[in-house]
Amino acid sequence: MDEILIVDYGSQYTRLLARRVREIGIYSRVESPQKAHMTSDTKGIILSGGPQSVYSENALKLPNWLVSSEIPVLGVCYGMQLLVQTFGGVVKRGETFEYGSTKVIFSEDPIFSNLPKFSDVWMSHGDLVEKLPSGFLRIAKSELGVIAATCSKDKKIYGFQFHPEVSQTEGGMEMIRHFVFNVCNAKESWKMEDYAELKVKELREELGNSKVIGAISGGVDSAVATAVAVRAIGENLKCVFVNHGLLRKEDELVPQILSQIGIDVKVVDASELFLERLKSVRDPEQKRKIIGKTFIEVFEREAKSVNAEYLLQGTIYSDVIESAAASSASVKIKSHHNVGGLPERMNLKLVEPLRELFKDEVRELGEIVDLPPEILNRHPFPGPGLAIRIIGEIDQERVNVLKKVDDVYTTILKENGEYHNIWQAFSVLLPVRSVGVKGDERAYGYVVALRAVDSSEGMTASWHKMPFDLLRRISSTITDKVPEVGRVVYDISDKPPATIEWE
């Protein structure tokens, strides 16, 4: 089937590019610049963004074969700058940076067909194109006058300084469609059912008759990974749910829900072990690494009892990219417990069938493998659980407080029909206390922050515009039912610059 090759220069959004191409029915393949190669099915190439400057001494370059290739190419951000420099243009450090939503003016080029001349796009760059190569045209500029898009006169090479793949770029998907279908002449031939069949086949070939421990965390990702693996290896998968003492109330029901659809889960209570090891730990990176290491210890112990060689995890792409494990050019944002937080030496070999997928793709795959809505429609929940939603030190009292707050918050959202309008909602216990008044007496209670965001894949997110009356009800119910809490605040930070979770 037709494919688009995506060359990865370390952008946080590289796999989002791949996902957007798959979303319009074309298979996409991601390779590093060193390993990138074309096949007879390759119809076009997209060069991703990245954290480097093209004029740096060790900057990643174009694959040698690409310069003389006749195949259509689209460069995004760093990818555009790399094309400009390679073909004789000039890239320099900008005096004014462009980050976030930026207004641009499009020309009449076909790649912008049916799009408004003035549009908002998502920028994230400090370098800019000062001079275009001979034979290249400027086809868009930003409100600051920066070259925002270019193309060669033969319309085979395009460059966007902005990111069409993120949802904040108006018409971004239309631009990708124009490039893939009209410039590359690719034919729609891929769907998620193909991915499901491919992964089941790959798991059968990789695992054979080996025993596998399945790590069930209570979230969507691990449940979908489990359902895919069950199709591949059946009873050779032994599922284990580790209660690390940092779960929400609703998470404790996950093993029961899975058992109703034929997936048996062994529950292991390791809450005392986790809480003891997290005692007095404040640094979020250290928390993640302790949790990752302890999880592996528990799973390795369980693996010995069934002679398992492999550990199945529900790792998805946002975990990988934020942990800088997707590319040698990526920059670490935080170490996810199941990626960057794992110990260097493990007795178990990892199996991660969802590693290339985003959250919404995981949910789509979950529907294909017949998981119930009670699992698929849950908001994302991090593997470290409440540990990274308690800022600072963790103890049983703080865990109990946050668990009660989270239960109130989630229950009210569901009762009011707002839960399914939000991509992710949760509460955070802050390491401060605030003076208040309860029953005409002075109170000195915890402060909790409520977080709710809208997103499609988790790589970018906007704070959710919660109805004020609903916020008031949530706040007053929390302070009424959780006496330890004296003040409630609402987080209105987008991603970027913030991340969705606080730690």
What beta strand segments (E) does 353-492 contain?
Answer: 424-438, 441-454, 462-463, 485-490
DSSP assignment letter at 236: G
Residue identified by tokens 């997936």 is: 263
The Cα–Cα gap between 335 and 341 comes to 5
Assigned token pair, 127: 């370098």
Q: Using omega within 30 degrees of 0 as the cis cutoff, is the peptide bond preceding 497 cis?
A: yes
Q: Annotate 247-291 with DSSP letters as a single string.
A: --GGGGGHHHHHHHTT--EEEEE-HHHHHHHTTT---HHHHHHHH
φ/ψ of residue 33, rounded to 5:
-60, -30
- Amino acid type, 130: E
* Closest to 265 (Cα-Cα) out of 304, 198, 192, 215: 215
Strand partners, 105: 118, 141
What CA–CA distance (Å, rounded) separates 209 from 333? 38
Backbone φ and ψ of 410, nearest 5°: -65, -40
The residue written with tokens 């997290």 in the block is: 278
Give 405's contacts (C-beta < 8 A, 6+ positions apart): 427, 429, 448, 478, 482, 485
Classify 101 as helix, strand or coil. strand
Residues 478, 448: contact at Cβ < 8 Å? yes
Are 389 and 429 in contact by the 8 Å Cβ rule? The answer is yes
Distance between CA 175 and CA 186 in Å, rounded? 14
Write down the residue that tokens 């069930």 correspond to: 216
Do 342 and 388 contact (CB within 8 A), yes or no? no
Q: How far apart are CA 249 and CA 400, in angstroms?
A: 10
Angle at alpha carbon of residue 388, lines to 267 and 385, rounded to 5°: 20
Q: What six digits make up the tokens of 477?
A: 């119910």
Give, as one character, the DSSP assignment of residue 249. G
| Pairing, β 118-131 against β 90-106 | antiparallel
* Amino acid, res. 381: F
Active site (catalytic) residues: 77, 163, 165
Omega before residue 372 within 30° of 0, cis:
no
CA distance 49 to 498: 20
